[in-house]
Amino acid sequence: MAGLKRVMNRQEEKVGRELQSLAVEHGYNVHIKMRIADALEIDGSGIDDSLFGYALKSHFDFLVCGADYIPLFAIEFDGPTHLEPKQRALDAKKDALCIRFNLPLLRINTNHLLKKYNKASLLKWIISAWELKKAFDSAQALGQIPADEDFDPIMLWHPGRTLEEVHPHWVALRPRLHIERLHKEGRLPTGRSCSITFTDERGNYRGIEWIDVAPCQVVCVESGMREQNFPLYLGDLFREVLATLLYDRLLDFLEMGIGAVAPEVVSSRLERMKERYRFRGSSTSSTSVNFSLSLDQLRWF
C-alpha cells in the first residue's frame, strides 16, 4: 500500500519467526524495533550525552521480555552494512549501553539461522542452552547439583528415542560417530579429527580442524565465531561447529575427491594463527600435520 513501509527485511523476518517459536516454548514476549530508551532506565543513570542521545534515537531489532515484560535480552541482526566503519561505531554504542545496563545482547547473522546443527539453528541452540543454564544454576543453588559441577549443555541427557532427542545440544554427535564408522570400514586412516582453537584480541573465537584422509592428504576447515555479550560460554559450541563444517568438507572429498590439501598447508596456517591469536584449547589424534604448542601459549588455556 502506498505510504506504508515494511517494518522488517527478509532476514529480520527469519529471526522473528525463530524467536516466535522460542517464545511459545519459553513464555517470552518478543518486541520488534523497540526504542532503546524504552527498555533501559537511562534517565539519571549518569551515562554521557553521546550514549544518552543515541538511546533516544535508536532501537533494538528485537527485544525479548519475560512474562512480566521485563527485558531478558536483545538481538541484533548484523547484515553486511555492519562491517562499515560508521555502523561499527554505532554498534559500539549499543554494545556499551547493554553492558552498562546488564542487558545481554546477541549479535547474529545468516549463519545463525540458515544452517541447521542437529536440527536446530545456532540461535535456537544458544537460547535453549541459556534456559538450561538458568535451571542448572537454580538447582545448584538449592543443593540439588554438586557445587563443583560445571554446566555443559552438550553432555546433558534428555528424554527421547533418537540421538537428536537425547543429546539436542551435541551438534556434532552424528558427524563424529560417522567418522568413526568410516574409519572402521577402512575408508579413513583415523577415526578422529584434530582441532586447535584460539581467541583474538576482542575475545572472538578462531579455530582450525583437520583430519588425515590419505597419505600426504588432509581435509581441513578454518572458521571463527563472534564473542557475545551473553551469559553463556560459547567455546564448546564453536568447537562443535568446527567439527560439523569439517564433516561437510570431508563428505565432499569422499564423494568427489575434492578439497584435500598437503599436511604442510595446515602446519603453515597453524603457525600463523599461533602468532596472531591466544591459544584456547586442542583436541588431537593421529595426524601427519606437524605442529607444536609452547608453554607460553598453553598458559592461555
Look up cell 566503519; give the residue. 85
β-pair partners for 210: 194, 220
Residue 24, C-beta contacts closer than 8 angstroms, at least 6 positions apart: none
pTM for this one?
0.88
What does the pLDDT read at residue 164? 84
The least confident of 51-55, 79-83, 293-297 is 293-297
For residues 252-271, average pLDDT: 96
The band of 82, judged by pLDDT with boundaries at 50, 70 and 90, is: low
- Return the percentage of the chain with pLDDT > 90, whole number: 75
Cβ proximity of 240 and 193 under 8 Å:
no
Q: What is the mean pLDDT of residues 32-53?
A: 97
Checking if the pLDDT of 298 tops 70, the result is no
- The model's confidence at residue 301, banded by pLDDT at 50, 70 and 90, is very low
CB-based burial, 237-273: b 16+ in 10 Å, e otherwise: bbbbbbbbbbbebbeebeeeeebbeebeebbebbeeb
Amino acid identity of residue 111, one-letter, is N
C-alpha span between 292 and 280 (Å, rounded):
14
**pLDDT(299) > 70:** no
pLDDT of residue 297: 47
46-55, 56-65, 158-167, 270-279: lowest mean pLDDT where?
A: 158-167
- pLDDT for the residue 294: 52
pLDDT at 300 over 70: no
Domain ranges of the chain: 10-112, 127-171, 172-298
Residue 295 — pLDDT band, cuts 50, 70, 90? very low
Q: What is the pLDDT at residue 293?
A: 62
Q: pLDDT digits over 187-206, tens only?
A: 999 999 999 999 999 899 99
> Using DSSP, how many helices (H) and how many strands (E) does the chain show?
10, 8
- What is the pLDDT averaged over residues 9-36? 92
Q: How far apart are CA 247 and CA 210, in angstroms?
A: 9
